Amino acid sequence: MKIILIGLLVVGTLFGADVVKVSEQFLQSQKCKSCHLPIVKEWEQSWHAKSHYANDEYFRATIDYVSRKTRKSLNGVKVECATCHNPRISVTSTDIDYEIMSVMELDKGSEVSNAIQSDAINEGINCVVCHNIDSIHEERDESVRGIHRIEWTKSGTMTGPYDDAKSPYHKVEHRDFMEKDSDQLCFVCHANDKSHKGLVFTNMQGEYKKSEKGCTDCHMGSQKMGVATTLKIDNGKAKERKIRTHKFAGGHVAGMWKDALNIELSQSGDSVVVTIANPQPHNIPSGFGARELILEISYKSGLKELKNQSISLTNHYTSKRNKPTIPHLAVASTKDASIPANGTKILKVPTEAGATSVEAKLYYRLVNDEVRSLLELKDDIWSQKSFITSQILKLK
């Protein structure tokens, strides 16, 4: 039977975006260190550097879960997710022929198997992902993301924000999306996420409110004088320029959350009104469907605590059988619990008899209890709370 199948499945049809092979000298970030050491060291601390099955527990657990529940091969799901997580992969889609090969354990040494194990993708979003993008197809449908939304430069041509950059080791070309229109670059991947059942569970580009503050201002920091390259190209010295950090700080960095939202408390009869204001240009939480805000409310009489309660602001997802599931497999979700960009959310909670004051503390968490349990996530970072802000109100 296997012999017959081998004859029928010579090579399953593999299709998708055009792939540009990266020359060995540009393949991994280690090769960039000789000229761009400070930037590469910053990138190594980022989650872009972890954007790979072997390096990110949440990503790995999600792929395993989707593969198990959909009965699609593990490699097939990896290729699908590589659209954004590993865009330099040499295979951008698989078909039913490959799935049969995988079930029959005939895929060893196949094009898909080799692509999954390639050194070209084991660093996730590395230098030759962002800096090898030639053009971005904004005109394409918003569901077309990642590798399917861009065109690559030829190997050995790097794109960047400077129009006077030069290097003896590779060609350098300026692109506006590297600085003036950097939101366009971010939204290649950080835009909308859709489940296998067609449910859009995150649409960051759709919710984004254009303002003076762009993606890079928060996630790469303000521009500071420094060197993009240590090459002595400016009269025997490294050229100083305005640069941004490449740590790509996000929801996983606790310091990002301090005062990211504001709280106001007021009393209305027997209730306390909690107004949460979001001055940021995108919804919070956003980015992934299972993120969560936690509002902790404490009622006190003097110094004595009478009661405390915790309110979770997160989305919950259900499968076609109406059972809890992860966002990537959901057919439906609860009403969006996020605070809209440049908007507010108002909550009303009853006061406690005898209380003379109430304190509200707001926290952020990367993954809510439900999804963390479904994926069996172990690392402490998924359950840790990041403090945002607090407010105290004296009750009448």
Q: Which of 243, 269, 303 is the last residue of a domain?
A: 243
Number of structural domains in the chain? 2
Tokens of 223: 């521009």
- Per-residue pLDDT in tens (0 to 9) along the chain, 396 residues: 333 333 333 333 344 456 788 888 888 899 999 999 999 999 999 999 999 999 999 999 999 999 999 999 999 999 999 999 999 999 988 999 989 998 888 888 899 999 999 887 889 999 999 999 999 998 888 778 899 999 999 999 999 999 999 899 999 999 999 988 899 999 999 988 889 889 999 888 889 988 888 899 999 999 999 999 998 888 888 999 999 999 999 999 999 999 999 999 999 999 999 999 999 999 999 978 899 999 999 999 999 999 999 999 999 999 999 999 999 999 999 999 999 999 999 999 999 999 999 999 999 999 999 999 999 999 999 999 999 999 999 998
**CA–CA gap between residue 113 and residue 124 (Å, rounded):** 17
Show which of 243, 274, 296 is a domain's final residue.
243
Do 326 and 203 lie in one domain? The reply is no
Is residue 197 domain-shared with residue 68, that is, in the same domain? yes
Please check whether residue 249 lies inside any domain of the structure. Answer: no
Q: How far apart are CA 152 and CA 340, in angstroms?
A: 34
Note whether 272 and 149 are same-domain residues. no
Instruction: Say yes or no: 345 and 224 in one domain.
Output: no
Residue 182 and residue 69 share a domain: yes
Q: How far apart are CA 240 and CA 297, in angstroms?
A: 49
Handedness of CA 127, 17, 66, 290 (dihedral sign): positive
Quick one: 267 and 181 in the same domain?
Answer: no
Residue 98 has which token pair?
């490959």
In this structure, are 87 and 128 located in the same domain? yes
Domain co-membership, 236 together with 273: no
Same domain, 308 and 214: no
385: containing domain: 254-394
Query: How would you classify the pairing of strands 171-174 and 157-160?
Result: parallel
Give me 18's structure tokens. Answer: 């055009």
Amino acid at 113: S
Tokens 């996000």, residue located? 250
Residues 6+ apart with CB under 8 A from 98: 12, 14, 73, 75, 76, 107, 110, 112
248 lies in some domain: no
| 202, 61: one domain | yes
151, 115: one domain: yes
